[in-house]
């Protein structure tokens, strides 16, 4: 191993010296990345240009000449034709010409009577003659619009070519964060974002949901199920048309308006991108596009994901890389997305796809060439190199990424120059699993604060994590949300303020707030919430399917509940906003890990400090402590900036926050070291309550 090659991963080794025995696999993937990068620069001018292929591949209308220009990659066939309503589906009318021997075909269709030969939004397909003589018809892999057929369950391709006057013009610059705040993500699905039992629209989300998200204090939206998927109940994870956005929610121009409006509110928008696999659909998907099983995919069993019943991409194929990298740049350029949450990263990085594989943390699991798919890892590195280059050209705006990885792959969130893969964040998937296990199996007295803190803080040094209590996974039918685990016995009968506050509802409201605040304060460098969970949505999520008689009853989010002043959901919604304001005002998330000074199992009291804020939790089910001594590093006068027991949050107002003169109650430190902190103070901390304190002179309105 040469010294020069070792320099490729020096940053990773500096961060984690335990990687030293695995230097060679780390170097190998760096060298493979560099080879791909050099080859693309040689053959395609640059990675940036390579990923701009969406501008030429597919079917495009030139508004200056009124020509339609067609470019398609279709290997292993005899003829290619463009057919559609414009030529009565005649395979002989508009045949493409072979450009080279690598499967590239092209055609230019001149205008007819001074206008495009193909009308905007008209139906079309790619027709191919196989070596066997069979004529097959498929949707364009690069098409930008697909709609359900009226006579079948299939989707039809449409030529999306609105006039410049009808094309949405972006008005707002991309949103940027201030130096204090971290990333606060609202995970959302357009279709369920309505109280009505129907499919929600981009328009509805823009007009009715964006204001709710903005008011709550989220600065990022993660949109699910945007890439077109023929099967609604797949939650968007069986993508059929990668460059088309879901037509069931509206038009491309309406999605652009949604994103532009979010930017105007200071909110970034992420796309939940699925490059880990593809739908098996043939007639309206990518599968068997040219009559073979290896078009962009691995052939044979290697190209199938048996559990997901889907196709797997071949990441060492030149045209697969063109397709996927162009897909990323397309959504950034055309729709103005600000980054991506990559789905199924574990499945991508390992040949076993994580199936029936229990990751123990042994480094051999991450670097064993028998298990790791280096080609997929290199694709992810190329994707992040692309994001970096796009960022440089956009006045330094930082496009960012999140990995859905359950394995804990080391270096996943280190930069490529450091020897990493390039992600900005990984999802802390162990945290929601922990909370569900606790609520499902343990009584309140059995909660182990040491174990909870360990799970919340157990993350790799200098690799950022997104903490969350629950995501869409826990909201799906067959599982239970935290609110349901806590209160499902009485959520339909006792959530009205006109009904008595029962022990179940009281406990549920209290712990719902404490679980969220603890995860928010301790769990990561970012925070995520799935829509509706912030206010304890009373029902699970179940898309219309044969098993529920195609019902939309559970495929919706009842935002009307937080607007009803007689319902207790408003308390959880208000607390969520109060919690998020800690980050926007003082900075919690994108700051160094907290210092935990106390984990008292008997008292069930937990104390930690993060970026100057002092968090105090009492998880005890019945014991309140009137003068509880806690440690704090910085001396001074403190005041409460968040109190979960306030009446506005559904609490009991047991803590006096204002004195007889109407001034905030103050807490004074003593120069008496306590719990390894330089100072101490006395606080009143009621049962099932959390308070957050800040130095008086740093408090913001």
Tell me the average pLDDT across 176-182: 88
Of 111-120, 394-403, 675-684, minimum mean pLDDT range: 394-403
CATH number of the domain within which 603 lies: 2.60.40.1180
Catalytic one of 16, 140, 260, 404? 404
Q: How long is the chain?
A: 701
Kindly state the average pLDDT of the residues 280-288: 97
Tens of pLDDT, residue by residue over 113-133, are: 999 999 999 999 999 999 999
Q: Which helix (H) or strand (E) holds 186?
A: strand 183-189
pLDDT at residue 451 above 50? yes
Q: Are residues 189 and 152 in the same domain?
A: no
DSSP state of 407: S
Compute the average pLDDT of residues 263-289.
97
Q: Is 2 a residue whose pLDDT tops 70?
A: no
Q: Are residues 206 and 153 in the same domain?
A: no
Catalytic annotation present for 392: no
For the chain, percent of residues with pLDDT exceeding 70: 100
Residue 506 and residue 622 in one domain: no
CATH of the domain at 60: 2.60.40.10
Please state, as a whole number, how many other Cβ atoms lie within 10 Å of the Cβ of residue 360: 8
- Which residues, listed in sequence order, are joined to residue 310 by a DSSP beta bridge? 305
Beta-strand relationship, 135-138 and 124-129: antiparallel
C-alpha distance across the termini of the chain, in Å: 58
Asked if residue 43 is part of any domain, the answer here is: no
pLDDT at 418: 97
- Computed over every residue of the chain, the mean pLDDT equals 96
- Give the integer Cα–Cα distance in Å for 536 and 519: 16
Tell me whether residue 404 is one of the annotated catalytic residues. Answer: yes
pLDDT, position 479: 80
In Å, what is the CA distance from 545 to each residue of 233, 298, 476, 558? 7, 30, 13, 20
Do the Cβ atoms of 195 and 558 come closer than 8 Å?
yes
Give the lowest-confidence range in 173-187, 336-350, 368-382, 496-510.
Answer: 173-187
3-state secondary structure at position 258: helix
Q: Which of 546, 566, 586 is the last residue of a domain?
A: 586
pLDDT at 1 over 50: no
* 114 and 199 within one domain: no
450 with 467, same domain: the answer is yes
Name which of 283, 228, 223, 235 is nearest 250 in CA terms. Answer: 228
Phi, psi of 366 (to 5 degrees): -90, -20
Say whether pLDDT at 29 is over 90.
Answer: yes
Please work out, in degrees rounded to the nearest 5, the angle formed at the alpha carbon of residue 510 by the alpha carbons of 506 and 515: 145
Residue 611: strand, helix, or coil: coil
> Residues 343, 373, 542, 583: which is the catalytic one?
343
Q: 322 with 463, same domain?
A: yes
Residue among 99, 61, 60, 105 nearest 80 (CA) = 105
Establish if 420 belongs to a structural domain: yes
User: What distance in Å separates the CA atoms of residue 452 and residue 608, rounded to the nearest whole number?
Assistant: 13
Rounded to whole angstroms, how far apart are CA atoms 183 and 398? 13
pLDDT (average), residues 199-208: 98
Dump the DSSP string for 589-607: TTSPPPEEEEEETTTTEEE
Q: What is the pLDDT of residues 58-102, one digit of tens each?
A: 999 999 999 999 999 999 999 999 999 999 999 999 999 999 989
Please classify residue 577 by burial: count the beta carbons closer than 10 Å to its beta carbon, then call 0-12 exposed, 13-18 middle and 19+ buried: middle
DSSP, collapsed to helix, strand or coil, labels residue 47 as helix
Is residue 554 predicted with pLDDT exceeding 90? yes
Residue 108 lies in domain? 54-157
* 36 lies in some domain: no
Task: Look at residue 682 in the predicted model and tell me its pLDDT.
Answer: 97
Whether 390 and 482 share a structural domain: yes
Give the tens place of pLDDT for each residue, 589-644.
Answer: 999 999 999 999 999 999 999 999 999 999 999 999 999 999 999 999 999 999 99
pTM for the full predicted model: 0.97
pLDDT tens digit string along 432-450?
A: 999 999 999 999 999 999 9
Per residue in 134-173, pLDDT (tens digit) is 999 999 999 999 999 988 789 999 999 999 999 999 999 9
CA distance 191 to 157: 21
Same-domain pairing of 431 and 509: yes
What pLDDT, on the 0 to 100 scale, is given for residue 3?
53
* Backbone dihedral angles phi then psi of residue 628, each to the nearest 5 degrees: -100, 125
- pLDDT tens for each residue of 317-371: 999 999 999 999 999 999 999 999 999 999 999 999 998 888 988 999 999 999 9
202 and 151 within one domain: no
Residue 246's φ and ψ, nearest 5 degrees, are: -55, 115
């Amino acid at each position: 191993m040469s010294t020069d090659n070792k320099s490729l991963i020096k940053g990773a080794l500096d961060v984690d010296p335990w990687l030293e025995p695995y230097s060679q696999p780390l170097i190998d993937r760096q060298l493979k990345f560099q080879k791909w990068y050099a080859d693309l620069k040689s053959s395609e001018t640059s990675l940036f240009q390579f990923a701009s292929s969406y501008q030429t591949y597919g079917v495009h209308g030139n508004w200056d000449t009124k020509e339609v220009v067609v470019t398609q990659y279709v290997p292993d066939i005899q003829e290619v034709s463009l057919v559609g309503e414009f030529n009565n589906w005649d395979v002989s009318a508009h045949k493409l010409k072979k450009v080279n021997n690598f499967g590239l075909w092209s055609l230019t269709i001149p205008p007819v009577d001074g206008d495009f030969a193909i009308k905007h939004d008209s139906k079309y397909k790619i027709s191919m003659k196989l070596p066997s003589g069979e004529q097959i018809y498929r949707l364009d892999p690069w098409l930008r619009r697909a709609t359900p057929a009226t006579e079948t369950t299939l989707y039809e391709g449409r030529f999306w070519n609105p006039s410049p006057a009808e094309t949405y013009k972006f008005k707002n610059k991309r949103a940027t964060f201030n130096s204090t705040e971290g990333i606060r993500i609202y995970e959302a699905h357009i279709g369920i974002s309505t109280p009505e039992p129907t499919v929600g629209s981009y328009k509805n989300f823009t007009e009715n949901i964006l204001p709710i998200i903005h008011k709550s204090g989220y600065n990022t939206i993660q949109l699910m199920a945007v890439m077109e998927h023929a099967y609604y109940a797949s939650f968007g994870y069986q993508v059929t048309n990668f460059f088309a956005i879901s037509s069931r929610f509206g038009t491309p121009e309406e999605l652009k308006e949604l994103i532009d409006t979010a930017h105007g509110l200071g909110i970034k928008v992420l796309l939940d991108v699925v490059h880990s696999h593809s739908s098996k659909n043939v007639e309206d998907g990518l599968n068997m596009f040219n009559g073979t099983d290896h078009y962009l995919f691995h052939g044979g069993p290697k190209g199938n994901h048996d559990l997901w019943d889907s196709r797997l991409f071949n990441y060492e194929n030149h045209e697969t890389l063109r397709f996927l990298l162009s897909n990323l740049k397309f959504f950034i350029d055309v729709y103005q997305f600000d980054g991506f949450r990559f789905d199924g990263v574990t499945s991508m990085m390992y040949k076993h796809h994580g199936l029936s594989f229990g990751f123990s943390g042994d480094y051999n699991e991450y670097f064993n060439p028998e298990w790791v798919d280096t080609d997929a890892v290199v694709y992810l590195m190329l994707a992040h190199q692309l994001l970096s280059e796009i960022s440089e050209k956009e006045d330094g705006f930082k496009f960012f990424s999140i990995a859905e990885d359950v394995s804990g792959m080391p270096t996943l969130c280190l930069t490529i120059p450091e020897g990493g893969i390039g992600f900005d964040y990984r999802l802390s998937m162990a945290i929601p699993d922990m909370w569900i296990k606790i609520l499902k199996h343990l009584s309140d007295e059995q909660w182990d604060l040491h174990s909870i803190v360990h799970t919340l803080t157990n993350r790799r040094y200098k690799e950022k994590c997104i903490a969350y209590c629950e995501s869409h996974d826990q909201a799906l039918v067959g599982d239970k949300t935290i609110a349901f685990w806590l209160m499902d016995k009485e959520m339909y009968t006792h959530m009205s303020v006109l009904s008595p506050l029962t022990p179940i509802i009281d406990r549920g409201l209290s712990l719902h707030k404490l679980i969220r605040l603890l995860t928010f304060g301790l769990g990561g460098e970012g925070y995520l919430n799935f829509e509706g969970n912030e206010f304890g949505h009373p029902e699970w999520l179940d898309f219309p399917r044969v098993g529920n008689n195609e019902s939309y009853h559970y495929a919706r989010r009842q935002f009307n509940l937080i607007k009803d002043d007689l319902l207790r959901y408003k308390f959880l919604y208000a607390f969520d906003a109060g919690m998020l304001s800690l980050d926007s005002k003082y900075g919690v998330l994108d700051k160094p890990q907290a210092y935990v000074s106390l984990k008292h199992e008997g008292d069930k009291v937990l104390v930690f400090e993060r970026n100057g804020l002092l968090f105090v939790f009492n998880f005890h089910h019945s014991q309140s402590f009137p003068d509880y001594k806690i440690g704090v590093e910085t001396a001074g006068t403190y005041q409460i900036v968040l109190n979960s027991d306030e009446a506005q949050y559904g609490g009991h107002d047991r803590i006096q926050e204002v004195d007889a003169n109407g001034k905030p109650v103050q807490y004074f430190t003593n120069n008496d070291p306590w719990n390894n902190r330089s100072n101490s103070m006395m606080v009143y901390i009621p049962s099932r309550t959390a308070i957050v304190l800040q130095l008086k002179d740093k408090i913001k309105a």
